Chains A and B, each alone.
Chain A
Amino acid sequence: MNITVCIKQVPGTSEVEIDEKTGVLKREGVDSKMNPFDLFAVESALRIKAERHAQVNVLCMGPPQSIEIIKEAYMMGADTGVLLSDRRFAGADVLATAYTLSQGIRKCGLPDLIICGKQTTDGDTAQVGPETAEFLNIPHVANVRKIIAVGEQDITLEMELPCSVEIVRVKYPCLITVEKDICQPRLPSFKLKLATAGREVAVYGLDDFADRDETRYGLAGSPTQVRRIFPPETNTAHELWEGDGKNLAARLFECLETGKFITRE
């Protein structure tokens, strides 16, 4: 069985400042890390690998320094890694990103299963996974909160929906995006760091792809335009209640009910 996990490098902290005038993230001096959601995807793949002796390949699109997170995936137990890096990929929106990933996946050979994190912490769209599957013309399941069974021909999953949970079985090849907390990701291993220090990472650019039409990649291939980026307003208003447990509980219930966080049966 072959599994490909799509991973992305994001800023190391969620408290990145934004230049209000230009709307650009101030990345200077900010460390990078693997998108936290992708850790759950890598871990899910490694658990399947342990169970079914699968091959785990990680795929990353980004600037050359993104190779760090592929090495990190090696330290967690991934077998091979591919970096899609080309100046012409820069400035890609969700559509162009998904198209680039789909071309990269075709270049590597379509695996049985593709696993993505549900979303990234810098873009937060949660669209790239499903869009990639559409370009590959394979079925996809988003918001997977549990992998129930990994079969020879198909995989059974719990999909989290706004008001319900759906259990689905989907045939390979397919793509799934996994929720945060589907499992506890393992930590990178120093032993594996030593063991994989010399392991190569394949790097592909636009010229390696089947579709070399530049208008489908990067800024040129992105219909989305970002008008403005700004930090959301934070609300720190709070009130302090005093009283005994019984009265406080009644008041809290009333407050939650008024705010429609809970309803009386």
Chain B
Amino acid sequence: MNYAEITREDISFLEAVCGKDRVCCGSRINEDFSHDELSGISRYPEVLVRVTETGEVAEIMSYANRRRIPVTPRGQGTGLVGGSVAIYGGIMLDLTPMNRILELDQENLTLTVEPGVLLMEISKFVEARELFYPPDPGEKSATIGGNINTNAGGMRAVKYGVTRDYVRGLEIVLADGEIMQLGGKVVKNSSGYSLKDLIVGSEGTLAVVTRAVLRLLPLPRKTVSLLIPYPDLTRAIETVPLIIKSKSIPTAVEFMEREVILAAEDFLGKAFPDSSAAAYLLLTFDGNSREEIEQAYEKVAHICLGHGALDVFISDTPERNEAIWTARGAFLEAIKASTTAMDECDVVVPRKCVADFIKDIKRLQDEFGVRIMNFGHAGDGNLHIYILKDALEEKVWVQKLEAVFNKMYAHADSMGGLVSGEHGIGYAKKPFLEKSMGHSGMELLKRIKLAFDPNNILNPGKVCQ
């Protein structure tokens, strides 16, 4: 791909639009902007622009489109697959300064936000008003713009669904600088192709999201978590389909092994309420009264005890929930801190296949002699599997990683699984998407990309390119 290099005139243009103090280039760009949290690829943008208004984004896109300069939109850079890395240099749009909560519409139960608002700010804001934004990805310091662009899922997906289910409307800036409104505050919409839903999960390749209208729910008054110890992971996971079948719907069904818990204890310097068992399920129930929740969880507790659970621990106060969920939220960072380098697989498989898939991971660990840690959302079939480098030599590590990945993605595919549950394709997972979608599927994606961005300047080299 041939792109124009950034010139002195380009910088002057950007400075005229945003002011000198929000334009940064060359060695003045902080190292953080050259990579994301994991993917292993690194490249500095030629110029970093901190935008504060939709109008600025529009002017910059229009200019970049004319000049054929690649543009990479970016939130907090907490992605794991290189989606926010400027692999062709050019302009990086830092959208984090666009972080205003614009409107809470209590009559339509919507919240209108700019893309740089952090997930934790949204939950704090709405929960203080007894409202609820259900999507709950582990990374609370991610921006809502990033969440929308990866269609982030999180732990409450079992009951409440994913980000796409909570985006009512979007304001976007197209590659040529045109500003467009998609969807709105309406509950139903059968008006032509759902472009809004196409933008959700498009990883910054189709348009820049500059505003979002989010759907809210009334806040459930009470949350109770159950921490359920098992003698081994297989028995734990095998209970999950029985829980789902029992028709009581937990908001979250997570699984974890002692090894990950110990890593989190080490990382946080805080003890987990129990680490005596080899594996755990972590279930959450929400509702409006203690009685309602007790009824739901007692049924599930009996199912678990009948299928090999050692006990069922009840976490019913903010302090207890915090002790558990702080650790759960730190798993990724804890695993990262326990090794020299790692890569991840974020496959999603049909829920009833989770146990089989995990057994296969254990086998791969032994077969390839590489440490593999995993935890994840047993309730929705989305697994987070981390392959750790530890003391392996770089060359050996790369070989093993590729072999393990090929086997894992092939196995997921054979079960009817898909490449990514919530982290996206970005740069790192492109080969696996190709295998999964096939030639015609990829061609269709490319034609969609071309329709939105004929000059291919928006986050090029990602998803389907």
Instruction: Assess the B270–A184 pair: CB atoms within 8 A.
Output: yes
Known: A33-B317, A75-B314. A187 touches B290 (CB 8 A): no
CB-nearest residue of chain A to B265: A184
Q: Would you list which residues of chain A between 1 and 52 have a CB under 8 Å from chain B?
A: 12-13, 31, 33-34, 36, 39
Q: Evaluate contact between A188 and B274: CB separation under 8 angstroms.
A: no
Tell me, yes or no, whether A186 is within 8 Å of chain B by CB. yes
Shortest Cβ gap from A188 to chain B (Å): 5
- Kindly state whether residue A241 has any CB partner on chain B within 8 Å: no
Answer whether residue A227 sits at the interface, using C-beta atoms and an 8 A cutoff: no
Q: Are A187 and B320 in contact (CB under 8 A)?
A: yes
In whole angstroms, what is the CA distance A36 to B222 when docked? 18
Smallest Cβ-Cβ distance to A15: which chain B residue: B128
Number of interface residues of B (CB under 8 A): 23
A190 contacts B by Cβ under 8 Å: yes
Decide: A191 near B312, CB < 8 A? Known: A31-B290, A36-B317, A184-B272: yes
Q: In the complex the two chains form, what is the Cα distance from A183 to B320 in whole Å?
A: 13
Known: A31-B290, A36-B319, A39-B319. A188 touches B314 (CB 8 A): yes
Interface readout for B239-254 with A: 1 if CB under 8 Å, 0 if not? 0000000000000000
A185 close to B (CB within 8 Å): yes
Docked pose: A188 CA to B294 CA in angstroms: 14
Take A36-B319, A190-B305, A191-B305 as given contacts and tell me if A185 and B273 are in contact as well, using a CB distance cutoff of 8 Å.
yes
Residue of B nearest to A75 (CB): B314
Residues of B within 8 A of A184 (CB): 270-273, 323
Docked pose: A39 CA to B272 CA in angstroms = 15
Is A224 part of the contact surface with B, judged by Cβ < 8 Å?
no
- Which chain B residue shows the least CB distance to A34? B317
Nearest CB on A from B230, distance (A): 14
For the complex, is B3 an interface residue (Cβ under 8 Å from A)?
no
Counting CB contacts under 8 A, is A189 at the interface?
yes
- Which residue of the partner chain, among B290, B301, B320, B323, contacts A190 with CB atoms under 8 Å? B301
Distance to closest chain A CB from B256 (angstroms): 15
C-alpha spacing A191/B320, complex, angstroms? 18
For window 296-316 of B, CB contacts with A under 8 Å fall at 298, 301, 305, 311-316
Cα(A176)–Cα(B272), bound, Å = 25
Known contacts A12-B317, A33-B317; is A187 also within 8 Å of B305 by CB? Answer: no
Complex Cα distance, B316 from A39, in Å, reads 13
Cβ contacts under 8 Å, B91 to chain A:
none
Contact check, A189 vs B272: say whether CB atoms are below 8 A apart: no
Nearest residue, chain A, Cβ from B324: A187
Judge if B192 is at the interface, Cβ distance under 8 Å: no
Contact with B along A200-222 (1 / 0, CB 8 A): 00000000000000000000000
- B26 located at the interface, meaning its Cβ lies under 8 Å from any Cβ of chain A in the complex: no
Partner of A188 from the list B222, B270, B305, B313 (CB cut-off 8 Å) is B313
- Most chain A CB inside 10 Å of its own CB: which residue of B222, B271, B320: B320
Q: Which residues of A contact B318 (CB under 8 A)?
A: 12-13
In Å, the complex CA distance between A191 and B302 comes to 10
**Interface pairs A-B: 8 shortest CB-CB:** A187-B313, A190-B312, A184-B271, A188-B314, A33-B317, A190-B301, A191-B311, A187-B273
Selected A-B contacts with CB under 8 Å, 14 pairs: A31-B222, A31-B290, A33-B316, A184-B323, A185-B273, A186-B274, A187-B313, A187-B320, A189-B311, A189-B312, A189-B313, A189-B314, A190-B226, A190-B311
